[in-house]
């Protein structure tokens, strides 16, 4: 087996796979087989046998080779696809997607370039360089345009600065003059307003004093009268009306003072009686205290008015107030105990919160637990109310300082988390400028996951940040959708263009005659237009390309058929012209009268002039034959035409008429001697050459010429069929 493997004797190795003396030998031989056809034959040979391991080895080798061939075919297809795409791309004009598309195609090429042949790699590099040159030319154009725009903007800016400087100087001078005039006018207006304001204030004070008198407040009225006197010192001379109002006010104030002195005494008695009634009242302590204070305020108000104050009335009023306030005093004592208990509870809460702050692991904090503890501490602190203001102030300061420390730690965490979320927002916003929408979408999804892992943030701030983050995320997704829509629309547009090109090819293929030949250059233009279309919908690419190629093939076949018809018509015209030349030359040989000869010559020349297209060499030959002096040996001419017929019949395999069998055998013997037994092949070019020779043969009679011409044309028809 080793000898067979070393000698690469495939048949010997195959025989050992089937007829080896041991399983080890058969398996080793199966491992050595590398030819796919041999493997398939061996699998058929050993299928159903007893050696299952050999069968498994063979099928595994076959599957591996098939997989390797499939991958190689995919690699070749990938190389062909990307190289064709790069070639088409190099012919495209620059647009917004030109550079990203080139990068994408170049990346695809780099992935398979190592397996491509050197010639294709060279062409691909040329296409890449051509595409890069297109980008460079576009950038140069953009830079030149920007330079021109910048120069124009700079010139415009200098003109604007000069105009602004001139306008500013004029405006400044006008402003100074206007300010001087405005200052003088304002000074005069201020003096007038001051005098008017003083008069207005005196009038307002008179009105308020009258109102106070109407309400019985002599003290307020007297105070307002003193204020009026102070205003009079700086006011201009009063009008007679305003002076009369002041005099009337003085009279009313004096009258009210006299009346109030008479009416205060009974009011005091009423307040004393009301305070004594409160001693036995069953009011709520707080309401009772408010009522006592209200009556005391009324007493003090009466004391400010006119009238004398009696000590006996005051003592009676004060004693009644003390007795009435006794329930309030007891209630306030109980409240004092509550405030003391709240102070103790606050001390305990302070100690608890202090221990929490000091003993908490701030290296790895649970911020949600910190937030909960701080919130619950503040709620509990508010529940420990009321307390004595003076005694609770120190506690409140300590609690405020401690919660400030915790809040400071929490605010620092808030700030870090806000910064992280703002960073995610900014990074998401920057994704809007990304050219790779797929990567941008993946990044947004990653940012959304990171957002969930960021620590706590104040609710209002978190709602605002989340709104911004979601807005940018939605914008990225919307941009991806817009790009996909534009990409799909571009593919559909290319598909529409491709279908139009295919239909154009179908229309050209359906043409005939001159219309068809007039479109000879259109196929190259249509091919260039098709290759320049760019990417097509994946599901339609193969079908569109196949249809376009079929259209090209149909057009080529139509052109070939039309050209063949044109060429054949040219030969027919040549033979017709040759027949006219033969008739003319025969008339010359027979020495007919000059008029008949002239008519035949004119007929031949007219026929020659009317032919639109001649076979190669046909026109020169027919003109020479028309002008050449012909041979008068008609028999020799007939023999020459027969030889041409026999040569054509031998060339095309057509039988010769019996009367010329002897001539054919004689010709074949001559050919055999010349060719040393080499066979002859049908060659249309040789038939065309013989046709040109046919034109050069001298004239023969019409009855002789027609059957010979039919024989020769039959051979040409047979040659074209083959």
Q: Concatenated DSSP letters for 105-142?
A: HHHHHHHHGGGS-HHHHHHHHHHHHHHHHHHHHHHHHH
Q: List, for residues 550-598, the tens digit of each pLDDT value.
A: 888 888 888 888 777 878 888 888 888 888 888 888 888 888 888 888 8
Model confidence at 462: pLDDT above 70: yes
For residue 302, what pLDDT is reported?
A: 65
10 Å CB burial of residue 96 (0-12, 13-18, 19+) is exposed
- What's the rounded Cα separation, in Å, for the pair 248 and 267? 28
Same domain? 608 vs 643: no
Q: List, for residues 372-383, the tens digit of each pLDDT value.
A: 888 888 888 888
Closest by CA position to 209, among listed 201, 217, 199, 200: 217
pTM of the model: 0.36
Model confidence at 208: pLDDT above 90: no
Q: How confident is the model at residue 681 (pLDDT cuts 50, 70, 90)?
A: very low
Model confidence at 160: pLDDT above 80: no
Q: Which residue has the higher pLDDT, 568 or 500?
A: 500
Q: How confident is the model at residue 675 (pLDDT cuts 50, 70, 90)?
A: low
Same domain? 565 vs 521: yes
Model confidence at 306: pLDDT above 50: no
Q: How confident is the model at residue 224 (pLDDT cuts 50, 70, 90)?
A: confident
Model confidence at 258: pLDDT above 60: no
* Mean pLDDT value across residues 37-43: 84
- What's the rounded Cα separation, in Å, for the pair 508 and 502? 10
- Is 427 inside any structural domain? no
For residue 321, what pLDDT is reported?
A: 81
- CA 385 to chain centroid, in Å, comes to 62
- What's the rounded Cα separation, in Å, for the pair 218 and 212? 7
Closest by CA position to 433, among listed 487, 476, 482, 478: 476
Closest by CA position to 716, among listed 586, 609, 564: 564
Same domain? 640 vs 548: no
Q: What DSSP string runs through 330-358? A: HHHHHHHHHHHHHHHHHHHHHHHHHHHHH
Closest by CA position to 715, among listed 633, 667, 643, 625: 643
Distance linking the first and last C-alpha atoms of the chain: 54
Q: How confident is the model at residue 166 (pLDDT cuts 50, 70, 90)?
A: low
For residue 584, what pLDDT is reported?
A: 86
- Is 688 inside any structural domain? yes
Last residue of a domain, one of 116, 137, 161: 116
Same domain? 601 vs 490: yes
- What's the rounded Cα separation, in Å, for the pair 424 and 410? 21
- Is 281 inside any structural domain? no
Q: List, for residues 329-339, the tens digit of each pLDDT value.
A: 777 777 777 77
Model confidence at 212: pLDDT above 80: no
Same domain? 616 vs 685: no
CA dihedral for 266, 268, 274, 277, sign (positive or negative)? negative
Same domain? 21 vs 37: yes
23-32 vs 52-90: helix crossing angle, rounded to 10 = 10
Q: What percent of the chain has pLDDT over 70?
A: 91
Model confidence at 150: pLDDT above 70: yes
* Mean pLDDT value across residues 383-412: 83
CA dihedral for 214, 220, 221, 227, sign (positive or negative)? negative
Same domain? 606 vs 654: no
For residue 602, what pLDDT is reported?
A: 92
Same domain? 72 vs 95: yes
Lowest mean pLDDT among 13-22, 225-234, 311-320, 333-342: 225-234
For residue 153, what pLDDT is reported?
A: 80
- What's the rounded Cα separation, in Å, for the pair 600 and 602? 5
The mean of the pLDDT values for the chain is: 82
- Is 345 inside any structural domain? no
- Is 573 inside any structural domain? yes
Contact 584, 626 (CB under 8 A): yes
Model confidence at 319: pLDDT above 60: yes
Q: List, for residues 635-673, the tens digit of each pLDDT value.
A: 888 899 999 999 998 888 899 999 999 898 888 888 776
For residue 261, what pLDDT is reported?
A: 53
Contact 88, 541 (CB under 8 A): no
- Is 33 inside any structural domain? yes
For residue 710, what pLDDT is reported?
A: 92
Model confidence at 121: pLDDT above 70: yes
- Is 238 inside any structural domain? no
Same domain? 484 vs 576: yes
Lowest mean pLDDT among 62-71, 231-240, 376-385, 393-402: 231-240
Q: How confident is the model at residue 233 (pLDDT cuts 50, 70, 90)?
A: low
* Mean pLDDT value across residues 264-289: 75
Same domain? 622 vs 647: no
Lowest mean pLDDT among 31-40, 167-176, 427-436, 555-564: 167-176
Number of domains in the chain: 3
Last residue of a domain, one of 97, 116, 135: 116
Same domain? 518 vs 550: yes
Per-residue CA distances from 713 to 275, 613, 658 (Å): 154, 19, 19
Model confidence at 707: pLDDT above 90: yes
For residue 645, what pLDDT is reported?
A: 93
- What's the rounded Cα separation, in Å, for the pair 292 and 284? 12
Same domain? 610 vs 654: no
For residue 219, what pLDDT is reported?
A: 66
Model confidence at 620: pLDDT above 80: yes
- Is 175 inside any structural domain? no
For residue 524, what pLDDT is reported?
A: 85
Encode 50-72: b = buried (16+ Cβ within 10 Å), e = exposed.
ebeebbebbbebbeebeeeeeee
For residue 557, what pLDDT is reported?
A: 86
* Residue 651 lies in domain: 632-722
Last residue of a domain, one of 60, 86, 116: 116
- What's the rounded Cα separation, in Å, for the pair 649 and 507? 41
- CA 695 to chain centroid, in Å, comes to 73
Model confidence at 135: pLDDT above 50: yes
């Amino acid at each position: 087996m080793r000898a067979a493997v070393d000698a690469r004797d495939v048949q010997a190795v195959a025989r050992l796979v089937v007829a080896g003396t041991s399983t080890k030998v058969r398996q080793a031989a199966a491992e050595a087989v590398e030819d796919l056809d041999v493997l398939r034959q061996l699998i058929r040979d050993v299928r159903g046998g007893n050696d299952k391991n050999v069968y498994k080895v063979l099928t595994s080798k076959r599957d591996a080779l098939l997989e390797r061939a499939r991958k190689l075919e995919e690699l070749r297809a990938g190389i062909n696809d990307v190289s064709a795409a790069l070639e088409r791309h190099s012919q495209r004009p620059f647009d917004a997607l030109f550079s990203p598309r080139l990068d994408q195609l170049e990346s695809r090429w780099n992935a398979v370039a190592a397996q491509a042949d050197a010639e294709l790699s060279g062409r691909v590099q040329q296409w890449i360089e051509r595409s890069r040159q297109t980008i460079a030319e576009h950038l140069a154009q953009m830079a030149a345009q920007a330079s021109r725009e910048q120069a124009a903007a700079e010139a415009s800016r200098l003109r604007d600065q000069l105009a602004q400087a001139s306008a500013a100087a004029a405006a400044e001078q006008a402003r100074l003059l206007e300010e001087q005039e405005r200052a003088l006018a304002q000074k005069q207006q201020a003096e007038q307003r001051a005098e008017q304001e003083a008069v207005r204030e005196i009038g307002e004070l008179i009105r308020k004093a009258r109102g106070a008198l109407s309400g019985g407040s002599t003290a307020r009225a007297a105070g307002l009268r003193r204020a009026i006197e102070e205003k009079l010192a700086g006011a201009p001379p009063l009008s007679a009306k305003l002076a009369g109002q002041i005099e009337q006010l003085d009279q009313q104030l004096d009258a009210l003072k006299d009346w109030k002195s008479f009416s205060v005494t009974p009011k005091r008695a009423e307040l004393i009686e009301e305070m004594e009634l409160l001693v036995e009242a069953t009011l709520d302590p707080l309401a009772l205290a408010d009522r006592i204070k209200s009556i005391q305020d009324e007493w003090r108000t009466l004391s400010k008015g006119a009238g004398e104050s009696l000590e006996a009335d005051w003592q009676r009023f004060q004693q009644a107030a003390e007795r009435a306030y006794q329930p309030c005093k007891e209630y306030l004592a109980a409240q004092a105990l509550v405030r003391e208990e709240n102070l103790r509870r606050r001390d305990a809460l302070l100690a608890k919160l202090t221990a929490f702050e000091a003993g908490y692991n701030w290296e790895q904090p649970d911020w949600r637990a910190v937030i909960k503890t701080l919130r619950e501490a503040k709620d509990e602190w508010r529940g420990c109310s009321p307390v004595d203001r003076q005694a609770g102030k120190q506690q409140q300061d300590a609690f405020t300082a401690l919660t400030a420390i915790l809040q400071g730690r929490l605010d620092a965490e808030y700030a870090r988390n806000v910064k992280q979320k703002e960073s995610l927002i900014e990074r998401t916003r920057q994704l809007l400028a990304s050219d790779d929408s797929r990567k941008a979408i993946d990044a947004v999804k990653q940012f959304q996951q990171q957002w969930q892992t960021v620590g706590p943030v104040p609710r209002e701030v978190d709602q605002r940040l989340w709104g911004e983050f979601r807005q940018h995320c939605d914008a990225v997704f919307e941009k991806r959708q817009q790009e996909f829509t534009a990409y799909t629309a571009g593919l559909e547009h290319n598909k529409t263009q491709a279908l139009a090109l295919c239909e154009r090819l179908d229309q050209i293929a359906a043409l005939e005659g001159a219309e068809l030949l007039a479109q000879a250059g259109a196929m190259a233009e249509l091919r260039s237009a098709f290759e320049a279309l760019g990417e097509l919908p994946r599901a339609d690419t193969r079908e569109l390309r196949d249809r376009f190629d079929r259209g090209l093939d149909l057009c080529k076949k139509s052109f070939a058929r039309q050209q063949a018809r044109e060429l054949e018509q040219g030969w027919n015209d040549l033979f017709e012209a040759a027949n006219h030349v033969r008739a003319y030359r025969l008339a010359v040989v027979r020495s007919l009268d000059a008029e008949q000869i002239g008519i035949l010559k004119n007929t031949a020349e007219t026929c020659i002039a009317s032919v639109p297209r001649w076979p190669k060499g046909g026109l020169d030959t027919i003109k020479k034959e028309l002008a050449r002096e012909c041979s008068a040996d008609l028999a020799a001419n007939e023999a020459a035409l027969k030889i041409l017929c026999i040569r054509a019949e031998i060339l095309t395999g057509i039988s010769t008429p019996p009367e010329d069998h002897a001539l054919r055998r004689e010709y074949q013997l001559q050919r055999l001697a010349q060719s040393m037994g080499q066979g002859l092949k049908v060659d249309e070019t040789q038939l065309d050459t013989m046709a040109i020779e046919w034109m050069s043969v001298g004239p023969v009679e019409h009855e002789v010429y027609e059957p010979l011409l039919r024989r020769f044309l039959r051979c040409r028809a047979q040659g074209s069929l083959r």
